[in-house]
Each structure stands twice: as structure tokens, then as C-alpha cells.
């Protein structure tokens, strides 16, 4: 696994300044020991849903999220007992800014920091493996955090030559794995605790919460800035957004698959066809669209609706 910092500079004196300092936690005597001229960043990634408390996470409870049809009516509930994804890159981007160089003239630069994974994110308990490193950035407003999903492969190891996941793990060969149960209307009957799984290799880069109201986050100098990236889980199974669901497919139209033991289950994967394939495409779009970011101003451990980068968006009541 590699960690890389990349910077784009619009003038030729590349050695005039170091735009970013990237240090592991072990190299610091204290997280309060921020380098002069920089702001520290303590980053975490999590999944959030309405009415899910920190105590619920700590106890390992499942997270239930609604399933809605094309009209926005709730038709069922998916209770997730597992929700993991693989981030191969996390990139902070800052708009062009002016700085003073040693030539005593202002120059425009554009700056970015790229963390290379893979990082395995457990969205239900808010943990990341391996741990996200402590990072320092130039102070200012960062208007984009870009994420890239990519699958776990055989050559992905963490320090100490330990495989991040075993080959028998359902996340292996995929970038996202969900498991749980579905209760609600389905085809011609009402399902109760029907087994559900969703596993795909999404190899895509996307921006978090890119919208008209995007304000970005401010990295303050000389302090640790607690930044959270949150996937809003309650958006994942919504089918009432015309842009993400132009064909108006509906979760309730699918027929359960046989599990081989006389029972049934719902399985979305790379081999899905027909309605299953169309519905999985909408879920993939929803997952990418659900990512928000912001500063954990009250240190609650949650990215609440008034803390994300897009306070005027439809997510205001969704955390």
C-alpha cells in the first residue's frame, strides 16, 4: 500500500515551498504538535442513518434503512448487519490561491493531497483499516474531497505483510459488500427477514456532495481539524430520484432467488441480469451520491446535517 501526496503548481519554482506535509501518527509526539503554517487533519469515514446513536454503534447493533419506490413511498426496510467498502484513493482539493514566494511576488497555485489506499471502511462501526494517517494541509477552504472505489486484490497488504482480507472474505475481489435482511413488499407477497446481499466491483472516482450549495471545509492553522466523510445510508435504496433512476425501476418488482435449501434470498452481484441489474445500477448511483463531508465541530463522532459541506441540500434531516 502506498501513500502519496500530489501537488499541481502553476509556476516553475517547484522547490520554492513544500505545499503539504504528510506524517504518520507515530512520527508525532502529540496530535497538538502542528507544524507552523499548517493545519492538522484527523480524518475518518463512516456511514450514518437517522436515529443511529454512538451507543448503538458501540453495541454492534444493525442499521435499518428505508426502501422507497418511484413515488417516494416507503415499501420496505433493509436491515444491514454488514456494510464495507474499499477506498483506493482519498483526495483533498483546494481552489487556486495566492501565496507569497521568496521572490516577494504573489503566485497562483492549485493544491491537492492524495492518500492512496486501499482503505477498508466498515460503515456500520465507523472504522477504517488500516488507520487513516494523520495529515497536515495548508490552511484555507477545501471545496472538494474526491473518493475512488476499487476492488481488493491479492497483492493488497498492510504493514507486516498481512493480507487486508482473506480470499474467502466476500469483500475480496469487490469494492463494496452489503449483507442483511429485507422486510416489506416484494412482487406478489410480503417478505419478512429475507436474506439480502449486494457485492460489486465499482472502479469509479467521484466527488463528495458536489452541489449548488457546496461550501467546502475550512482547515484552520495550528489546530487539529476533525474531518468526517459520511455515506448517508438512507439514500442508498431510494428510487424516486429521476436523475439516478431515469427508467423508473422499482425494488419491489424483483423476484427472490432460490437459496438451494428451499428458501429464498435477494442477491445483487456482477452476474445480476434484468431487473436485478437495473436496480443495482440505481443503488450504485445512490451510494456515490450519498457521500458528504464536513468538520465534526461538536466532536460528537457523527457528521450531522448542519456540519456537512452542503447545508442547503436535501440531506438536512438525514444523519
Q: Is the Cβ–Cβ distance between 275 and 254 less than 8 Å?
A: yes
E strand intervals along 201-312 = 204-207, 217-219, 224-232, 257-258, 264-268, 291-295
> Average pLDDT in the 197-224 region?
83
Asked if residues 250 and 237 have their Cβ atoms less than 8 Å apart, the reply is no
- Other Cβ atoms closer than 10 A to 125: 14
Instruction: Give the lowest-confidence range in 19-28, 136-145, 155-164.
Output: 19-28
Question: What is the pLDDT at residue 208?
Answer: 84
CA–CA separation, 187 and 130 (whole Å): 42
Helix residue spans in 199-238 (DSSP H): none
Burial class (CB in 10 A: 0-12, 13-18, 19+), 94: buried
Q: What are phi and psi of 73, to 5 degrees?
A: -75, 140
Instruction: Look at residue 102 in the predicted model and tell me its pLDDT.
Output: 47
Mean pLDDT within 7-19:
30
- pLDDT of 204 > 70? The answer is yes
The region of weakest confidence among 64-68, 87-91, 124-128, 152-156 is 152-156
Which residues contact residue 104 at a Cβ distance below 8 angstroms, ignoring those fewer than 6 apart?
none
The least confident of 100-109, 135-144, 271-280, 281-290 is: 100-109
pLDDT at position 229 is 93
Average pLDDT on 115-134 reads: 92
Cell numbers linked to 126: 465507523
Q: Average the pLDDT over 295-313 and give the result.
A: 65
Amino acid at each position: 500500500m502506498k501513500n502519496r501526496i500530489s501537488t499541481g503548481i502553476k509556476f516553475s519554482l517547484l522547490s520554492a515551498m513544500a505545499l503539504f506535509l504528510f506524517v504518520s501518527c507515530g512520527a508525532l509526539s502529540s496530535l497538538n504538535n502542528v507544524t507552523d503554517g499548517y493545519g492538522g487533519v484527523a480524518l475518518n469515514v463512516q456511514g450514518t442513518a437517522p436515529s443511529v446513536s454512538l451507543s448503538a454503534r458501540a453495541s454492534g447493533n444493525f442499521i435499518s434503512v428505508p426502501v422507497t419506490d418511484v413515488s417516494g413511498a416507503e415499501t420496505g426496510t433493509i436491515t444491514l448487519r454488514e456494510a464495507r467498502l474499499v477506498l483506493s484513493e482519498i483526495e483533498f482539493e483546494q481552489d487556486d490561491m495566492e501565496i507569497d514566494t521568496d521572490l516577494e511576488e504573489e503566485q497562483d497555485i492549485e493544491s491537492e493531497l492524495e492518500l492512496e489506499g486501499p482503505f477498508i471502511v466498515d460503515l456500520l462501526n465507523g472504522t477504517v483499516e488500516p488507520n487513516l494517517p494523520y495529515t497536515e494541509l495548508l490552511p484555507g477552504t477545501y471545496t472538494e474531497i474526491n473518493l475512488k472505489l476499487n476492488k481488493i486484490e491479492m497483492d493488497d497488504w498492510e504493514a507486516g505483510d498481512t493480507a487486508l482480507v482473506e480470499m474467502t472474505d466476500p469483500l475480496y475481489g469487490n469494492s463494496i459488500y452489503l449483507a442483511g435482511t429485507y422486510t416489506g413488499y416484494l412482487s406478489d407477497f410480503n417478505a419478512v427477514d429475507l436474506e439480502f446481499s449486494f457485492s460489486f466491483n465499482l472502479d469509479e472516482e467521484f466527488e463528495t456532495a458536489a452541489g449548488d450549495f457546496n461550501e467546502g471545509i475550512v482547515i484552520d492553522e495550528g489546530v487539529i481539524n476533525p474531518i468526517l466523510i459520511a455515506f448517508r445510508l438512507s439514500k442508498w435504496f431510494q428510487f424516486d430520484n429521476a436523475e439516478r433512476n431515469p427508467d423508473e425501476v422499482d425494488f419491489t418488482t424483483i423476484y427472490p432467488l432460490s437459496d438451494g435449501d428451499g428458501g429464498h434470498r435477494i442477491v445483487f452481484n456482477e452476474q445480476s441480469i434484468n431487473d436485478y441489474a437495473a436496480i443495482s445500477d440505481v443503488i450504485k448511483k445512490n451510494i456515490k451520491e450519498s457521500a458528504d463531508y464536513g468538520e465534526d465541530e461538536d466532536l460528537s463522532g457523527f457528521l450531522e446535517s448542519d456540519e456537512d459541506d452542503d447545508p442547503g441540500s436535501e440531506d438536512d434531516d438525514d444523519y
